[in-house]
């Protein structure tokens, strides 16, 4: 009888053992062994692995935990924030001592998440924003591509500068009531060249962003509506709110924590063909943009369209690794009845609060979009300022079987510059059009 129980125990343990063997670093997940990840990736990704359009290269992180990828100052501030902040009835962030919205300092506003807390989902999104703004003023450049068949149908290149006031690591003269100011300049294609957008985001949970646009052909600045966060960017599949996973106001969605689990998340490895990603990565000083400015290391990403013998979908990133990580699964429902997404699921790393995937359904409840991102964790040369960054992003329209990609690693663009010295006057209404001249 004892031997029978032993045999049964071995039979039950064997599938788990087989899966752990399949997920060793360097293993390629493809059509033949897709079942090994069926509980670890969204069904839309699993389906395309089954058709041969996608494959996943399993990797590992060094160190295995990401609990110390941010600066010591960030973690110290997070600890000091315990009990300091709360939420109002709109989901807005308020100071417990005053009951009012304030300009939050460095660190996670909610360093301890209770899964039973009905406000846990909203608090996790606020933690994400705290990680997003900690690198202070930054300038990024990106290239967006949309694919038709195996060719690139649309290519958009742009630069963006952001001046945050919330969650900063370094002090700055604060403009009350403003979360951040952002300036976007389009360099390509030709019909967009010189177009500039300016955004001011407000603390007031009922107030839409203030946005302006400079159109070169008109040579005029025009006030534009901000009630279009789900509109596409140019002719791509990306929405404005897709930047870094979620770029909207926290208060414009109802957020719910669905649960915690393990999933495979994407990272750019140390070497193009390697299976190890080491974090945090130290950056080089870039003093031409500020005494404490630093620049993201260069990487090379290859995509399906680069293959000489096409096997994968043209939009699928090939030179990345996938690592099993603990995540939160959040559900967000827009309060705006005209928002094109009915609901969205955010896949958030439990240790770093960074968004790695966004899954979207239309307002009729049909599955629509899959967004996959890599996240990198960087440190200034002196180790005092940390800077997480979404390096590449792939957005698939599952209904139309097409996709767009966003790439900050391409040779056509400059690396991201963090903690730059930024003149707040650059983000004024009177001066921003100089970018387009």
Confidence band, pLDDT 50/70/90 cuts, at residue 424: confident
| Whole-prediction pTM | 0.93
Nearest to 354 by CA among 181, 130, 160: 130
pLDDT, greater one: 19 or 345: 345
Residue 192 confidence (pLDDT) above 90: no
Residue 48 confidence (pLDDT) above 80: yes
pLDDT score recorded for residue 17: 45
Please name every residue paired with 214 in a beta bridge, in sequence order, or none if there are none.
196, 221
Tell me the CATH class for 129-436.
mainly beta
**pLDDT, tens digit (0-9, with 9 covering 90-100), for 394-421:** 999 999 999 999 999 998 899 999 999 9
**pLDDT, tens digit (0-9, with 9 covering 90-100), for 266-282:** 999 999 889 999 999 99
Residue 8 confidence (pLDDT) above 50: no
Q: What percent of the chain has pLDDT over 90?
A: 74
**pLDDT, tens digit (0-9, with 9 covering 90-100), for 104-160:** 999 999 999 999 999 999 999 999 999 999 999 999 999 999 998 888 888 999 999
Rounded CA gap, 147 and 401, in Å?
10
Rounded CA gap, 36 and 52, in Å?
15
Domain boundary assignment for the chain: 129-436
Phi, psi torsion values for 306, nearest 5 degrees: -80, -15
Rounded CA gap, 123 and 250, in Å?
9
Rounded CA gap, 369 and 349, in Å?
20
Phi, psi torsion values for 20, nearest 5 degrees: -65, -35
Mean pLDDT in residue range 45-55: 97
What is 70-121 written as a DSSP string?
A: S-HHHHHHHHHTTTTEEE-TTS-EEETTTTB-----SS-S--S--TT-TTHH
Mean pLDDT in residue range 38-55: 97
> Half-sphere exposure of 281 toward its Cβ, with a 13 Å CA cutoff?
23
Are the CB atoms for 125 and 108 separated by under 8 Å? no
Please name every residue paired with 144 in a beta bridge, in sequence order, or none if there are none.
156, 406
SS3 (DSSP) at 152: strand
Are the CB atoms for 404 and 315 separated by under 8 Å? yes
Please name every residue paired with 370 in a beta bridge, in sequence order, or none if there are none.
359, 396
Mean pLDDT in residue range 43-48: 98
Are the CB atoms for 320 and 329 separated by under 8 Å? no
Residue 10 confidence (pLDDT) above 50: no
**pLDDT, tens digit (0-9, with 9 covering 90-100), for 309-360:** 999 999 999 999 999 999 999 999 999 888 899 999 999 999 999 999 999 9
Rounded CA gap, 254 and 203, in Å?
17
- Lowest average pLDDT, out of 29-38, 207-216, 242-251, 373-382, goes to 207-216
């Amino acid at each position: 009888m004892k031997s029978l129980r032993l045999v049964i125990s071995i039979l039950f343990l064997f599938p788990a053992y087989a899966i752990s063997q399949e997920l060793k670093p360097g293993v390629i997940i493809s059509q033949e062994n897709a079942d090994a990840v069926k509980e670890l990736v969204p069904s839309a990704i699993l389906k395309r692995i089954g058709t041969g359009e996608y494959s996943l290269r399993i990797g590992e992180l060094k160190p295995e935990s990401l609990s110390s990828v941010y600066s010591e100052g960030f973690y110290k501030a997070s600890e000091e924030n315990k009990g300091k902040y709360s939420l109002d009835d709109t989901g807005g962030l308020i100071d417990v001592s005053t009951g009012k919205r304030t300009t939050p300092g460095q660190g996670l506003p909610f360093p301890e998440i209770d899964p039973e807390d009905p406000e846990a989902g909203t608090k996790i999104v606020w933690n994400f924003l705290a990680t997003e703004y900690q690198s202070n003023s930054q300038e990024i450049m990106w290239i967006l591509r949309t694919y038709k068949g195996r060719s690139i149908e649309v290519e958009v290149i742009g630069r963006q500068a952001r001046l945050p006031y919330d969650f900063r690591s370094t002090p700055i003269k604060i403009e009350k009531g403003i979360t951040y100011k952002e300036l976007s300049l389009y360099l390509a294609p030709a019909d967009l060249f010189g177009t500039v957008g300016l955004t001011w985001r407000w603390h007031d949970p009922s107030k839409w962003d203030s946005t302006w646009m400079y159109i070169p052909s008109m040579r005029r600045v025009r006030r534009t509506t901000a009630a279009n966060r789900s509109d596409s960017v140019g002719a791509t599949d990306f929405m404005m709110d897709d930047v870094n996973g979620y770029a909207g106001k926290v208060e414009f969605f109802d957020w719910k924590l669905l649960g915690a689990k393990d999933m495979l998340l994407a990272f750019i490895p140390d070497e193009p063909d390697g299976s190890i990603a080491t974090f945090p990565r130290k950056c080089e000083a870039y003093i031409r943009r500020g005494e404490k400015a630093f620049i993201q290391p260069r990487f090379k990403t290859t995509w399906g369209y680069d293959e000489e013998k096409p096997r994968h979908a043209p939009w699928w990133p090939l030179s990345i690794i996938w690592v099993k990580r603990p995540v939160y699964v959040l559900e967000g429902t827009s309060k705006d009845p005209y928002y094109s997404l009915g609901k969205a699921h955010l896949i958030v790393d439990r240790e770093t609060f960074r968004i790695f995937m966004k899954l979207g359904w239309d307002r009729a409840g049909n599955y629509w979009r899959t967004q996959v991102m890599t996240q990198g964790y960087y440190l200034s040369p002196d180790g005092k300022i940390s800077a997480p960054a979404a390096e590449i992003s792939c957005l698939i329209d599952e209904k139309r079987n097409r996709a767009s990609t966003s790439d900050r690693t391409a040779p056509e663009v400059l690396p991201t510059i963090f903690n730059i010295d930024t003149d707040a006057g650059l983000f004024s209404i009177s001066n921003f059009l100089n970018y387009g001249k």
